[in-house]
């Protein structure tokens, strides 16, 4: 139901920051099976043809994560992954992840290898969202890149144990396409202005996914894996924290030098403007000097929007 379709299914305060618990009862045909966000706790026969299933209370979560399904095939009693005909994309509903069929189904007999990699990365992405997005949620849609960027970074990091070339896959699938998009002056910033719920989908650009993942990897390299991991652990171990903002994720975490971890000074110029820098290096062999020059990469000479960082 992301971004704001929960209000079409039931009355609610349909905003990401307005979290609540949800109790779901579904009435379904007796020959079908109902699924919800939580485990089934009670089944009541209404008559010869209809059954009412009641599910356990959901975790404290945003309304857009409420999900239900009625199926006619077996399932496992833990987080359900459901391929839905006619569904577009994939959605990380807590405990009941939905996929379009091609994002979940794979057949060793006829599916090419790249489909196996893609299906695995999509599943890793949606499972990562159970933490980045579901447990800790962006307070407003302008920080969607944090949800999608962290989950997208996990697309391939999570596949490392099966000995796939995850670094190369991340470059090919995420970094290179974003560099191409950022050649133009019409791409979106990572943190776009979202004035109303009806503009929420503007936050779900490929920039949020691909450049967001690149920023997470860059933070890991700048801060060090241990420092970034501590920031994530502090964020998720504090049960009073339910909303994700970039600097808040680093509060109470020190950098490698022992001082306060100031994420904003390192990342804001990447988040609030489009494009990326071109770094030129010139070596003078006679003077034995090296000169560095940085400018905005603009191969087509396009007019660029103003930036507070120039």
192-196, 248-252, 296-300 — which is least confidently predicted? 248-252
Helix (H, G, I), strand (E, B) or coil at 116: helix
What pLDDT, on the 0 to 100 scale, is given for residue 241? 47
Comparing CA positions, the residue from 215, 205, 211 lying closest to residue 249 is: 215
pLDDT of residue 239: 45
CA dihedral 193, 195, 198, 201 (to 10 degrees): 10
Tell me how far apart the alpha carbons of residues 245 and 57 are, in angstroms, rounded to a whole number: 27
Query: Residue 158's pLDDT is what?
Result: 85
Q: Are 69 and 75 in contact (CB under 8 A)?
A: no
Contact 270, 307 (CB under 8 A): no
Per residue in 61-81, pLDDT (tens digit) is 999 999 999 998 777 767 889
Degrees to nearest 5, angle at CA 107 with 101 and 110: 115
Question: Is 119's pLDDT higher than 50?
Answer: yes
Same domain flag for 244 and 294: yes
Based on the domain organization, do 145 and 29 belong to the same domain? no
The reported pLDDT for the residue numbered 11 is 93
**What's the average model confidence in pLDDT over 262-281?**
84
Query: Is 70 exceeded by the pLDDT of residue 252?
Result: no
End of a domain among 101, 124, 155?
101
Any binding-site annotation on 129?
A: yes
Domain boundary among 101, 117, 150: 101
| Helical residues (DSSP H) of 163-291, grouped into ranges | 166-170, 176-181, 206, 212-223, 225-237, 263-271
Residues 183, 257 share a domain:
yes
Q: Which of 46, 79, 101 is the last residue of a domain?
A: 101
Q: Domain of 64?
A: 1-101
Neighbouring-strand partners of residue 260: 254
Whole-model pTM?
Answer: 0.87
Mean pLDDT of 265-271: 82
154 and 71 housed in the same domain: no
Residue closest to 24 by CA, chosen among 1, 69, 62, 57? 57
pLDDT at site 44:
95
Residues 6+ apart with CB under 8 A from 159: 117, 120, 121, 124, 166, 169
Give residue-wise pLDDT tens across range 38-60. 999 999 999 989 999 999 999 99
In a domain, 92, yes or no: yes
What's 168's domain CATH number?
1.10.390.10
Q: Which residue has the higher pLDDT, 45 or 163?
A: 45
In contact, 231 and 250? CB cutoff 8 Å: yes
Q: Please check whether residue 124 lies inside any domain of the structure.
A: no
For residue 273, being part of any structural domain is answered with yes
**Residue 180 annotated to the active site:** no
* CATH code: domain of residue 30: 2.60.40.1730
What number is the average pLDDT over the span 259-286?
84
Q: Which helix (H) or strand (E) holds 185?
A: none
User: The tokens of 259 are what?
Assistant: 């001082």
- More confidently predicted of 187 and 27: 27
Residues 253 and 307 in one domain: yes
Residue among 126, 168, 183, 240 flagged as catalytic: 126
Q: How many domains does the chain have?
A: 2
Residue 258 confidence (pLDDT): 63
What's the gap between Cα 173 and its chain centre?
15
Q: Is residue 302 part of a domain?
A: yes
> Residue 275 and residue 261: Cα distance in Å, rounded?
25
Q: Is 148 assigned a ligand-binding role in the annotation?
A: yes
125 is in an annotated binding site: yes
Same structural domain, 252 and 169:
yes
């Amino acid at each position: 139901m992301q971004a704001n379709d929960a209000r079409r299914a039931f009355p609610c305060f349909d905003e990401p920051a307005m979290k609540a618990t949800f109790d779901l009862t579904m009435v379904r045909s007796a020959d079908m099976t109902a699924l919800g966000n939580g485990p089934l706790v009670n089944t009541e026969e209404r008559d010869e043809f209809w059954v009412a299933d009641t599910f356990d209370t959901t975790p404290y979560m945003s309304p857009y994560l409420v999900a239900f399904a009625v199926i006619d095939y077996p399932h496992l009693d833990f987080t359900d992954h459901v391929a839905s005909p006619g569904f577009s994309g994939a959605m990380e509903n807590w405990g009941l992840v939905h996929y379009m069929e091609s994002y979940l189904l794979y057949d060793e007999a006829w599916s090419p290898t790249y489909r196996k990699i893609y299906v695995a990365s999509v599943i890793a992405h949606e499972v990562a969202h159970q933490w980045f997005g579901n447990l800790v949620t962006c307070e407003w849609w302008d920080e969607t890149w944090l949800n999608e960027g962290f989950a997208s970074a996990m697309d391939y990091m999570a596949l490392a144990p099966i000995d796939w070339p995850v670094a190369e896959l991340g470059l090919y699938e995420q970094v290179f396409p974003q560099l191409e998009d950022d050649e133009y002056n019409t791409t979106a910033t990572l943190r776009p202005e979202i004035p109303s719920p009806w503009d929420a989908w503007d936050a779900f650009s490929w920039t949020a996914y691909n450049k967001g993942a690149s920023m997470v990897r860059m933070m890991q390299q700048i801060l060090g894996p241990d420092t970034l991991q501590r920031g994530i652990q502090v964020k998720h171990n504090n049960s009073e924290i339910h909303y994700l903002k970039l600097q808040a994720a680093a509060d109470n975490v020190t950098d490698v030098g022992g001082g306060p971890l100031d994420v904003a000074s390192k990342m804001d110029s990447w988040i609030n403007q489009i494009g990326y820098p071109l770094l030129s290096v010139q070596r003078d062999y006679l003077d034995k000097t090296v000169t560095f020059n940085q400018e905005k990469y603009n191969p087509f000479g396009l007019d660029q929007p103003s930036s507070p960082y120039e």
